[in-house]
Structure 1
Amino acid sequence: MHLEQFNAAGRTEAADALRPCLDIQRWIDDLADARPYSDLEALLAAGRLAADPFTPAEIDAALAHHPRIGERAQGNSAEARLSQSEQAGLGEADAAVAEALADGNRAYEEKFGQVFLIRAAGRSREEILAALNTRLGHSPAEEQEIIGQQLREIAVLRLEGLIGK
């Protein structure tokens, strides 16, 4: 979808287009209601602003839609296809890295009670594993802040991919 199409779309169509980027209703509403945008950078800036900060409830809702790192998102929704594409960019993991990621995911979920979330785009599996191991040492408050930042990065990257230049 081009920016001109997004700006001209009906409210429901615009909101539906945004949902795969980040399924947090307040964020979607903020971006859809602030149209029209003069250019892509104005839209991305609005996306960053609307995403800072997220409430704990918004983070919990967003995490419900994210698969574990190293696992394929299920279904054929736009969000699942985006996640599959992002994780496909990680390449194939050797068995040791795949096992370490699975073990780390379990440890993270046991400690924090939620899925480990990281912007996968532009990172290798080894980089993600190193970040996972580092983040296991965080407090829940530290981790909540990092998750919000990762959600912002994911949302803005997806938004940039959604709206053609």
Structure 2
Amino acid sequence: MINLQEAVLRGRLSTCLDVPRWIDSIVEQAPFGSLDDLLDAARDAANPLTRDEIERALAHHSRIGTRPSGAGGVGDDVARPGAELVRDLPELRGDDPAEVRAIGDRLREIALLRIEQSFTEDG
């Protein structure tokens, strides 16, 4: 079971994907009977991510091999198995819905990998 205080849950989730709406949606569903339940909630909440949410997530995300300079940055060492996904993220250049969807899908994959690493069945 994953049953954390709200502030702790929010903090851990923000290191996985710094998107307030996504975090709020997951927190509203807590506690979780299992890691799989948490992953399902996270997957659903990130489908889809909006362009603004993607821009926010990318702005608060440090690149591979760098440490975040402040509490708002997300360190890539949190998700080493997903490092290639982060490194290969294209820049969000236009308003092409397919491009926005593709980058949002990548960010969702990264967030799920980070959740798998950051959470255990006992919290």
Contact 1:66 1:73 in 2 (8 A): no
Q: Write the letter of the residue equivalent to 2:102.
A: I
Q: State the Cα deviation string for residues 106-126 of structure 1 (Å, max 9, x = none).
A: xxxxxxxxxxxxx535x7x8x
d(CA) in 2 for partners of 1:47 and 1:86? 16
Residue correspondences, number: 117
Partner of 1:75 in structure 2? 69
| Bigger Rg, which one | 1
Distance 2:21 2:112 in 1: 15
Is 1:162 equivalent to 2:118 in the alignment? yes
Distance change >3 Å, CA 73–CA 12, structure 1 → 2: same
The one-character-per-residue Cα deviations of 1:50-97 (angstroms, maximum 9, x if unpaired) are: 0001111111111101234x56244375722xx13546x6xxxxxxxx
In structure 2, the residue matched to 1:97 is none
Partner of 1:142: 98
Q: Supply the distance in 1 between the matched residues of 2:25 and 2:61 (Cα, whole angstroms).
A: 22
Amino acid at match of 2:77: Q
Does the residue aligned with 2:74 lie in a helix, a strand or coil? helix
| Pair 40,84 (structure 1): closer, same or farther in 2 beyond 3 Å | closer
Q: CA RMSD in A?
A: 2.9
TM-score norm. by structure 1 comes to 0.59
1:12 aligns with 2:3: no
- CA–CA distance in 1 between the matches of 2:98 and 2:78? 28
Q: Which runs of 5 or more structure 1 residues have no equivalent in the other structure?
A: 90-118
Is 2:35–2:116's contact at 8 Å kept on the other side of the alignment?
yes
Aligned-pair identity in percent equals 34
**Structure 1 residue 150: Cα displacement:** 0.5
